[in-house]
A = this chain, B = another copy of it.
Amino acid sequence: MTGFSLSPRLAADSDFVTDWPLCQVRLMDDRRFPWLILVPRRAGLEEWNELTRADAHQLSEEIARAGEGLVQHFKPTKINVGALGNIVRQMHVHVIARFEADAAWPGPVWGQGTSLSYETEARERLCGELKARLDPSL
C-alpha cells in the first residue's frame, strides 16, 4: 500500500467511516442519498482491469458488504454501484441506497442537481452508525 493517498477532491466531498482490508470506506456528504464510496488503498490505481486478481476478489466482497450494510440500515428500493472516474481518476466505487422518492430516481445520482451537505452533527452521527453497522465486530 506504499504511496497511497486520498485524492483531495474525494477527501473534500466525503468523510471517513472505516478501513477495510482493501478499501477505505467513506460517506459522501450529500444527504439527498445514503451514499458510500470505497477507495482501494493502492497507489496510482484508476481502472478495474488494473486490479490484481486478489484485489479484484476483495473489492467485489467489499462492494457486497457495503451494499448489505446499506440494505440493513436504510431498507432502500435498490442499491446502485458505480466506478466512473471521469472527473476524479483515483479509483473509487460508489455504493448508493436508492429510493423511488429520491431526488434522481430512476436516473443515476451522478451529475443530478446540487448536493446537499449534512449538518455536522447529523453527519458525525451517521458516520458512527454506519461504522457500527459495517464493522459489527468492533
Question: What DSSP secondary structure best describes chain A's contact surface?
Answer: mixed
Categorize the interface residue count of chain A: 35 or more
Query: Which stretch, A5-13, A27-35, A83-91, A122-130, touches the partner chain B?
Result: A83-91
Q: How far is the CA of A53 from the CA of B61 in the complex (A)?
A: 7
Taking beta carbons and an 8 Å cutoff, which residues of A are in contact with B? Answer: 46-49, 51, 53, 56-57, 59-61, 63-65, 67-68, 71, 77-87, 89, 98, 105-108, 110-111
Q: Is the CB of B81 within 8 A of A82?
A: yes
Q: Beyond A86-B106, A106-B87, A108-B108, is A47–B59 a contact (Cβ under 8 Å)?
A: no
Query: Which 9 pairs across A and B sit closest by C-beta, in order of nearness?
Result: A60-B60, A86-B106, A49-B67, A49-B68, A82-B82, A56-B60, A57-B57, A107-B111, A81-B83
